[in-house]
């Protein structure tokens, strides 16, 4: 096997605010996988760690150079086995696992960005998604909400916890005066912004605005506190960052059984890839929890893989797959968003030829 890679800096269209700070750009590493050096057919995968959040938030050049050496003498079948049984890549490099998984699936499909041959990738069905509203000034957030609604979104996800709480309550109040819960579903994402001591009272105040759910109201790692919050909160809680860094299947099961969340949110690039995400889905369904899948600021290469993976399941909730619109310099793709739905236009082409010319060999 021959692996090369390309660092690709994505530039945000606007300062993307979260409770952990503001992002102006982020770097993804595009894996280019071939059976042999010089082959015309190549599979692409994306490693897109998020600064300050991903377990492998670092320059991945060293990791990927080592991976290239490790697989250089392996056949495709040998690499598949080692990747599947977890002996090829350390689980603490989840974005690398995700990138190699998807590059391998793309390569096996003939390098056509066909990660899974399903109804979505054949342009037969679309995926409902939420519209994401980033933190910022109240005017900026109001503008985003209005734009999302005009674009046909009926499920809006709003980042909270970075600006003054009374301002956030005022924003939600204005929104609910215009649209009731049947017209617009509201999700909140706190990114762990609230203390365990204050969270319940804050959630009680948020509940006045008919909130569907809130992601990660307190920081990850406080299992007992989160379990109590899930039991007592007037708003259903979705685990997000809580799932990051939990690798053994037994530990995943322990977390679900201890906290008993209403929802879990899966980000394959942060949680160890597609196989790991499938494990979380099975555990959640066994425990009676629901789930949705979210991209994690990937380019359209990673987003495409996540969307096609998502489409393997029966979708019951809007997914978090709208991040393809975030960047000035995203890679042109057949992914299209219309009326709050993500489509794959199989008649369109990918603009990925430049990425198939590796800068490292």
174-197 per-position pLDDT tens digit = 999 989 999 999 999 999 999 999
- Which residue out of 148, 157, 252, 267 is catalytically annotated? 267
Percent of residues, the chain, with pLDDT higher than 70? 96
Q: How do 155-159 and 131-133 pair as beta strands?
A: parallel
Q: Which two tokens stand for residue 145?
A: 């909400």
Tell which residue, 1, 14, 5, has the closest CA to residue 327.
14
Contact 217, 234 (CB under 8 A): no
Query: Within the chain, which residue ranges are assigned CATH 3.30.390.10?
Result: 2-112+352-356
Q: Where in the chain is the domain with CATH 3.20.20.120?
A: 127-344
Whether 159 sits among the annotated catalytic residues: the reply is yes
The pairing of beta strand 185-189 with beta strand 155-159: parallel
Band (pLDDT 50/70/90 cuts) for residue 53 is confident
d(CA 41, CA 274): 23
Computed over every residue of the chain, the mean pLDDT equals 92
Instruction: Render pLDDT for 244-279 as a digit per residue (tens, 0 to 9).
Output: 999 999 999 999 999 999 999 999 999 999 999 999
The pTM assigned to this predicted structure is 0.94
Q: 130-139, 185-194, 201-210: which range is least confident on average?
A: 130-139
Q: What DSSP string describes 34-90?
A: ESSTT-S--EEEEE-PPTTTSTT-S-THHHHHHHHHHHTT--HHHHHHHHHHT-SS-
Counting beta carbons within 10 angstroms of the beta carbon of residue 109, is it exposed (0 to 12), middle (13 to 18) or buried (19 or more)? Answer: middle
The CATH superfamily label for domain 2-112+352-356 reads: Enolase-like, N-terminal domain (3.30.390.10)
Of the candidates 148, 157, 159, 252, the residue annotated as catalytic is 159
In degrees and rounded to multiples of 5, residue 353 shows phi and psi of -65, -40
- Superfamily the domain 127-344 falls into: Enolase-like C-terminal domain (3.20.20.120)
Res 352: pLDDT: 63
Question: Bridge partners of 188?
Answer: 158, 214
């Amino acid at each position: 096997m021959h692996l090369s890679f390309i660092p690709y800096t994505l530039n945000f269209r606007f300062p993307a605010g979260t409770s952990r700070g503001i992002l102006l750009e982020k770097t993804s590493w595009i894996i280019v996988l071939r059976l042999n050096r010089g082959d015309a057919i190549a599979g692409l995968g994306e490693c897109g760690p998020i600064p300050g959040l991903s377990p492998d938030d670092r320059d991945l050049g060293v990791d990927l150079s080592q991976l290239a050496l490790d697989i250089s003498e392996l056949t495709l079948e040998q690499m598949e086995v080692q990747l599947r049984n977890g002996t090829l890549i350390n689980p603490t490099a989840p974005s690398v696992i995700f990138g190699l998984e998807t590059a391998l699936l793309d390569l096996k499909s003939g390098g056509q960005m066909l990660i899974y041959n399903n109804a979505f990738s054949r342009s037969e069905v679309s995926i409902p998604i939420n519209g994401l509203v980033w933190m910022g000034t109240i005017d900026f957030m109001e503008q985003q909400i209005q734009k999302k609604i005009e674009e046909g979104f009926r499920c809006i996800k709003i980042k909270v916890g970075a600006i003054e709480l009374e301002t956030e309550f005022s924003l939600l109040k204005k929104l609910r005066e215009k649209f009731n819960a049947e017209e617009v579903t509201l999700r909140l994402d706190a990114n762990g912004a609230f203390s365990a001591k204050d969270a319940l009272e804050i959630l009680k105040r948020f509940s006045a605005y008919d909130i569907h759910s809130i992601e990660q109201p307190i920081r990850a790692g406080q299992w007992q506190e989160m379990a109590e919050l899930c039991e007592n909160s007037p708003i259903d809680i979705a685990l997000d960052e809580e799932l990051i860094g939990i690798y053994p299947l037994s530990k995943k099961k322990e977390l679900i059984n201890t906290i008993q969340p209403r929802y879990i949110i899966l980000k394959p690039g942060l949680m160890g890839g597609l196989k790991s995400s499938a494990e979380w889905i099975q555990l959640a369904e066994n425990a009676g929890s629901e789930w949705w899948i979210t991209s994690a600021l990937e380019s359209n290469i990673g987003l495409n893989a996540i969307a096609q993976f998502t489409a393997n399941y029966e979708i019951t909730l809007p997914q978090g797959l709208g991040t393809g619109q975030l960047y000035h310099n995203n890679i042109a793709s057949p992914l299209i968003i219309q009326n709050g739905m993500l489509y794959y236009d199989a008649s369109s082409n990918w603009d990925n030829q430049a990425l198939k010319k590796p800068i490292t060999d």
